[in-house]
A and B are shown apart, each in its own frame.
Chain A
Amino acid sequence: MSVATNWSIEGKNHEKNFKSIIFLGVLWLSLFVAFLFLIILLVTTAMNGWGRYDMRLFTSYNNTTPADAGARAAILGSLFVVSVTALMAIPVGIAAAVYLEEFADRSKWYNKVIELNIQNLAAVPAILYGMLTLGILTILGLKNKNVVIGGSLALALLILPVVILTTREALRAVPQEIRDGSLALGATEVQTVTKQTLPAAIPGIATGTILAVSRAIGEAAPLLLLGALVFITYDPNGLLAGFTTMPIQIFSWTSAAQEEFKQVAAATSMLLLAILLSMNGVAIFIRNKFAKRW
Chain B
Amino acid sequence: MTSESQGLSRGMHLGGSTRGEIVQPIMELRNLNVYYGDFHAVRDISLDVGANQITAFIGPSGCGKSTVLRCLNRTNDLVPSARVTGGIDYRGHDLYGPSVDPIEVRRRVGMVFQKPNPFPKSIFDNIAYGPRVTGMKLNKSETEDLVEHALSKAGLWSEVKDKLDQSGFALSGGQQQRLCIARAIATSPDILLMDEPCASLDPIATSLIEDLMLELVNDYTVVIVTHNMQQAARVSDRTAFFSAKIDDAGQRFGHLVEMDQTSKIFTNPSDSRTEDYISGRFG
Interface residue? B100 (CB, 8 A): no
Instruction: Name which of B59-67, B138-146, B180-188 contacts chain A.
Output: B180-188
Of A183, A195, A293, most buried by chain B (CB within 10 Å of CB) is: A183
Chain A residue, CB-CB nearest to B73: A184
Chain A residue, CB-CB nearest to B183: A185
A185 near B117 with CB under 8 A, answer: no
A186 near B120 with CB under 8 A, answer: no
B133 near A200 with CB under 8 A, answer: no
Instruction: Name which of A32-40, A157-165, A172-180 contacts chain B.
Output: A172-180
**Cα of A178 to Cα of B126 in the assembled complex, Å:** 11
A183 near B129 with CB under 8 A, answer: no
Q: Which of B106, B111, B117, B130 contacts A178 (CB 8 A)?
A: B117
Contact A185 to B134, CB < 8 A, known contacts A107-B80, A178-B117, A196-B119: yes
**Cα of A293 to Cα of B129 in the assembled complex, Å:** 20
Interface residue? A112 (CB, 8 A): no
Number of A-B contacts (CB under 8 A): 68
Q: Which of B104, B119, B187 contacts A181 (CB 8 A)?
A: B119
Which of chain A's residues have a CB closer than 8 A to the CB of B103? 186-188
**Cα of A293 to Cα of B251 in the assembled complex, Å:** 40
Q: Which of B78, B104, B117, B118 contacts A186 (CB 8 A)?
A: B104
Contact A185 to B133, CB < 8 A, known contacts A107-B80, A177-B113: yes
**Cα of A199 to Cα of B125 in the assembled complex, Å:** 13
Q: Which of B106, B115, B120, B169 contacts A184 (CB 8 A)?
A: B106
B221 CB to nearest A CB, Å: 16
Contact A183 to B117, CB < 8 A, known contacts A191-B133, A195-B133: no
Number of interface residues of A (CB under 8 A): 22
Q: Which of B80, B106, B118, B169 contacts A185 (CB 8 A)?
A: B106
Which of chain B's residues have a CB closer than 8 A to the CB of A175? 117
Which of chain B's residues have a CB closer than 8 A to the CB of A200? 120
Which of chain A's residues have a CB closer than 8 A to the CB of B78? 180, 183
A185 near B120 with CB under 8 A, answer: no
Chain B residue, CB-CB nearest to A188: B103
Q: Which of A178, A186, A191 contacts B187 (CB 8 A)?
A: A186
Which of chain A's residues have a CB closer than 8 A to the CB of B73? 184
**Cα of A187 to Cα of B111 in the assembled complex, Å:** 13
B75 near A182 with CB under 8 A, answer: no
Interface positions of B from 93 to 152, Cβ below 8 Å from A: 103-104, 106-108, 110-111, 113, 115, 117-120, 129-130, 133-134
Q: Which of B75, B115, B118, B120 contacts A292 (CB 8 A)?
A: B120
Interface residue? A105 (CB, 8 A): yes
Contact A181 to B106, CB < 8 A, known contacts A107-B80, A187-B133, A293-B169: no
**Cα of A124 to Cα of B111 in the assembled complex, Å:** 46
**Cα of A185 to Cα of B134 in the assembled complex, Å:** 8
A185 near B184 with CB under 8 A, answer: yes
Can you spell out 27 A-B residue pairs with CB atoms less than 8 angstroms apart? A105-B80, A107-B80, A177-B113, A178-B120, A180-B75, A180-B113, A181-B113, A182-B119, A182-B129, A183-B78, A184-B73, A184-B75, A184-B111, A184-B113, A184-B184, A185-B183, A185-B184, A186-B103, A186-B104, A186-B106, A186-B107, A186-B187, A187-B130, A188-B133, A191-B133, A195-B129, A293-B169
Given A184-B110, A188-B103, 5 other A-B contacts at CB below 8 A?
A: A181-B118, A181-B119, A181-B180, A184-B73, A200-B120
